[in-house]
């Protein structure tokens, strides 16, 4: 009601142009100096009234980073030039015929105009924009759009990506456009939908800009056509790089490490090499577990039925650890939230009074089916569906035997029949035969790379949309990236794609790690995989962590342009409950924990009080500590 009163009061001010009158609760708040038609729309945008006092002030208005307005009934948008934080604006309709004030918005990056009756966009020229989209704007001609676009020659270094084409992006969405690269041995499109042309080049349809990757040193031409007419031709020059060489690298060692995601051991990915699991914490390489035969990220179910993210480790001797807690000692296989024992019993991971336990579900289990979490294979090779209801487990037969391919609820059996399983709540599933002579089911690219969807493939190679008779044409070759790996190593709020990001990395086909950070480039030789980074808020510096081709792990300091070989350390053993850090869990820790809960007195090692591994030390942990002492 307060907001409604304030809005009514504010709008009455605009209508009468008299003294401002607002509710008593917001008597000091003055509505923003905009038309009532604008103010009412702003009031309905949730982020505008930041303090929720029922009044949108000039200060709140100027804090906005994006804004959407219908211009119906609006006569003045000059106030936009004072929006110093605005990066995105959407305007539609109305009768305003000049929106050139947008050129005065200092940090504007993205403009969307929808059916705005303007005839001039020359004010766009010279603006530093990322995207401009003009929808239902037929009075703006193709020539006008070309005149305000930027077309550039490009100079780049091998192993990096850049955006090539016409800018800002989006001006030609309603036209038939193509961008061509003449020599894809030098530069290639960094997307999966590129076509090969008859002259040996490559091109993209319905795009006038795209990320390109510098594959080899050299030079190539590129050009853009719109509605069949060449509107720009330019050159991309690629410079060779001189990467930093690491003296310790053993060229004779075969790479065998795995980079794996982690939920418990580290905020960064962990490394599994030769049975040892490593993690990087606080800038140090630590040994987490020895004799590891398998590792997965998954979850367990807590006492409230919620899923808790976890790291699951299977050791050579059959021991299973979930978030560092030993759960079983006789496992043959682990899954995302379960394991199979050596005698074929299936167990799920569940919280029981703060401890992660193995919850027995069913026997006669042979193995998991890797593409789904709802099924398992019985000892005779049948696909079995398992479900849980209020702590009890039910299993259902599907009749599908020895699947040769599967994806989610689709299975191809030993007789090449494709089946779909529909899971029904608390009852047997519905199993439907969908096709014969199938040899594969899963995701593939088709329709020229524009669709990545689930298909099934017959023995003669014909592909169909999964479970239907609709044929699809698979891409001749699955897209192979021209490098080993790429991604971001620091979130700098890039809004279009990685080529616009100020902080991306690539690992080239010859194992050079290239780093782009705020315009600076760095290259390191003999890198097999990227791990992660640390950012120092005080110095604003970044340290990169990576795995070398000989399985060693290194860090690289950007400000110093220097690498360091990391030596694994065995972390101090944390004794659950030992919060006074005397090496023993006893009644003294119970006493200190009580003081912490009642009076907030901080113990030496509060992290050891987290008995239920929920990352919070509270009364529930105190109860577990007391129970463990009693035992």
From the centroid of its chain, how far is CA 433?
36
Provide CB contacts within 8 A for 367, sequence distance 6+. Answer: 333, 340, 376, 377
Helix (H/G/I), strand (E/B), else coil: 270: strand
Instruction: Please report the pLDDT score of residue 493 as a whole number.
Output: 45
**pLDDT at 479 > cutoff 80:** no
Q: Which CA distances in Å does 435 have to 369, 398, 443, 598?
A: 21, 16, 17, 66
Give the model's confidence band at 17: pLDDT under 50 very low, under 70 low, under 90 confident, else very high: very low
Predicted local distance difference test score (pLDDT) of residue 29: 82
Give 494-540 pLDDT, tens digit per residue. Answer: 433 444 456 889 999 999 999 998 888 999 999 999 999 998 888 87
Question: Is the predicted pLDDT of residue 292 greater than 60, yes or no?
Answer: yes
Instruction: Check residues 230 and 200 and name the one with the higher pLDDT.
Output: 230
Q: Around 583, how many Cα atoms within 13 Å sit in the side-chain half-sphere?
A: 0
Give the rounded distance of the alpha carbon of 162 from its chain centre: 21
Give the C-alpha separation, 376 to 358, whole Å.
17
CA-angle at 12, arms to 10 and 17, nearest 5°: 100
Structure tokens at 612: 């239920």
pLDDT at 255: 96
174-178, 241-245, 264-268, 445-449: which has the minimum mean pLDDT?
445-449
338-341 and 331-334 strand pairing = antiparallel
Cis status of the peptide bond prior to 585, with omega within 30 of 0: no
What tokens appear for 153 in the block? 């020659």
pLDDT band at 20 (very low <50, low <70, confident <90, very high): very low
Which pLDDT belongs to residue 573? 63
**What confidence tier does 462 reach under pLDDT thresholds 50, 70, 90?**
very high
In angstroms, the CA 163 to CA 502 distance is: 12
pLDDT above 50 for 557: yes
* Residue 156 β-bridge partners: 238
The strand pairing partners of 395, in sequence order, are 386
Question: What CATH class is the domain 150-239?
Answer: mainly beta
Region 61-77 average pLDDT? 94
How far apart CA 27 and CA 193 sit, in angstroms, is 59
CA distances from 6 to 37, 39, 44, 453 (A): 15, 12, 13, 51
Cα torsion 378, 383, 388, 392 to 10°: value is: -30
362-393, pLDDT tens digit by residue?
A: 999 999 997 778 999 999 999 999 998 877 89
What pTM did the predictor assign? Answer: 0.77
Residue 600: other Cβ atoms inside 10 A: 7
Q: Name the CATH architecture for the domain at 485-565.
A: Beta Barrel (2.40)
Task: Evaluate if residue 490 carries a pLDDT over 80.
Answer: no
Q: Dmax over Cα atoms in the chain, in whole Å?
A: 85
Is the pLDDT reported for residue 592 higher than 90? Answer: no
Report phi then psi at 374, rounded to 5: -100, -5
End-to-end CA, the chain: 58
Q: Residues 476-494: what's their mean pLDDT?
A: 72
CA 582, CA 604: separation in Å to the nearest integer?
9
Per-residue model confidence (pLDDT) at position 197: 75
Q: Is the pLDDT of residue 567 over 60?
A: yes
Average pLDDT, the chain: 88
Q: Let me know if 41 is exposed, middle or buried by CB neighbors in 10 A (0-12, 13-18, 19+).
A: buried
pLDDT at res. 286 = 94
Domains 150-239 and 485-565 alike in fold: no
| Domain residue ranges of the chain, discontinuous segments joined by + | 1-64, 150-239, 485-565, 587-630
Per DSSP, 574 falls in state P
**Cβ partners under 8 Å of residue 459, min gap 6:** 416, 437, 438, 439
Q: Residues 330-361: pLDDT tens digits?
A: 999 999 999 999 999 999 999 988 789 999 99
- Give 198 or 234, the one with higher predicted confidence: 234
Between CA 275 and CA 316 the distance in angstroms is 9
- Span 213-247, pLDDT tens digits: 999 999 999 999 999 999 999 999 999 999 999 99
Above 60 in pLDDT, residue 104? yes
State the average pLDDT over residues 425-453: 89
| Rounded Cα distance, 60 and 86, in Å | 12
Is the pLDDT at 12 greater than 90? The verdict is no
Give the pLDDT band of residue 590 (cuts 50, 70, 90): confident
């Amino acid at each position: 009601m307060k907001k409604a009163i304030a809005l009514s009061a504010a709008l009455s001010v605009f209508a009468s142009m008299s003294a401002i009158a607002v509710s008593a609760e917001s008597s000091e708040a003055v509505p923003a100096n905009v038309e009532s038609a604008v103010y009412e729309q702003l009031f309905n945008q949730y982020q505008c009234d930041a303090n929720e006092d029922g009044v949108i002030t000039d200060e709140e208005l100027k804090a906005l980073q994006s804004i959407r307005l219908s211009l119906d009934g609006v006569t003045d948008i000059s106030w936009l030039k004072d929006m110093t934080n605005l990066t995105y604006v959407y305007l539609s309709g109305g009768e305003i015929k000049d929106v050139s004030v947008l050129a005065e918005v200092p940090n504007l990056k993205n403009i969307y105009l929808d059916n705005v009756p303007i005839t001039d966009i020359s004010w766009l020229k010279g603006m530093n924009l990322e995207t401009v989209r003009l929808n239902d704007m037929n009075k703006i001609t193709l020539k006008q759009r070309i005149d305000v676009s930027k077309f550039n020659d490009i100079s780049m270094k091998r192993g990096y990506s850049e955006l090539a084409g016409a800018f800002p992006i989006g001006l030609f969405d309603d036209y038939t456009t193509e961008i061509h690269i003449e020599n894809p041995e030098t530069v290639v499109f960094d997307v999966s939908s590129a076509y090969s042309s008859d002259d040996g080049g490559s091109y993209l349809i319905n795009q006038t800009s795209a990320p390109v990757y510098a594959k080899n040193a050299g030079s190539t031409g590129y050009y853009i056509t719109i509605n069949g007419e060449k509107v720009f031709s330019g050159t991309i020059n690629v410079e060779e790089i001189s990467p930093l060489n690491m003296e310790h690298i053993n060229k004779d060692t075969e790479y065998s490490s795995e980079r794996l995601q982690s939920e418990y051991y580290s905020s960064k990915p962990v490394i599994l090499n030769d049975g040892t699991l490593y993690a990087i914490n606080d800038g140090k390489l630590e040994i987490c577990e020895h004799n590891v035969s398998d590792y997965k990220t998954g979850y367990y179910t807590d006492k409230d039925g919620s899923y808790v993210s976890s790291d699951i480790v299977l050791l050579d001797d059959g021991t299973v650890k979930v978030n560092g807690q030993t759960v079983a000692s006789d496992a043959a296989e682990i899954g995302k939230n379960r394991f199979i024992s050596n005698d074929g019993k299936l167990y799920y991971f569940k919280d029981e009074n703060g401890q992660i336990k193995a919850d027995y579900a069913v026997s006669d289990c042979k193995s998991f089916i890797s593409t789904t979490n709802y099924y398992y294979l019985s000892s005779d090779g049948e696909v079995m569906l398992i479900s849980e209801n209020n702590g009890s487990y039910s299993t259902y037969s599907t009749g599908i035997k020895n699947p040769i391919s599967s994806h989610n609820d689709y299975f191809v059996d030993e007789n090449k029949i494709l089946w779909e399983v529909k899971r029904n709540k608390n009852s047997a599933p519905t199993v439907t035969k969908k096709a014969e002579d199938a040899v594969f089911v899963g995701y593939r690219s088709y329709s020229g790379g524009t669709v990545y969807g689930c298909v099934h493939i017959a023995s003669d190679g014909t592909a169909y949309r999964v479970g239907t008779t609709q044929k699809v044409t698979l891409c001749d070759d699955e897209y192979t990236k021209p490098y080993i790996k790429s991604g971001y190593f620091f979130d700098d709020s890039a809004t279009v794609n990685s080529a616009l990001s100020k902080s991306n990395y690539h690992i080239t086909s010859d194992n050079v790690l290239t780093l782009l950070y705020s315009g600076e480039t760095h290259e390191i030789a003999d890198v097999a995989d990227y791990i992660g980074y640390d950012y120092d808020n005080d110095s604003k510096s970044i340290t990169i962590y990576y795995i070398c081709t000989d399985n060693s792990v290194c860090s690289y300091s950007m400000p110093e342009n220097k690498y360091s070989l990391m030596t694994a350390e065995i972390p101090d053993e944390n004794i659950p409950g030992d919060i006074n850090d005397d090496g023993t869990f006893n009644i003294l820790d119970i006493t200190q924990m009580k003081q912490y809960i009642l009076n907030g007195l901080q113990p030496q090692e509060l992290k050891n009080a987290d008995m239920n591994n929920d990352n919070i030390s509270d009364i529930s942990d105190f109860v577990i500590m007391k129970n463990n002492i009693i035992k």
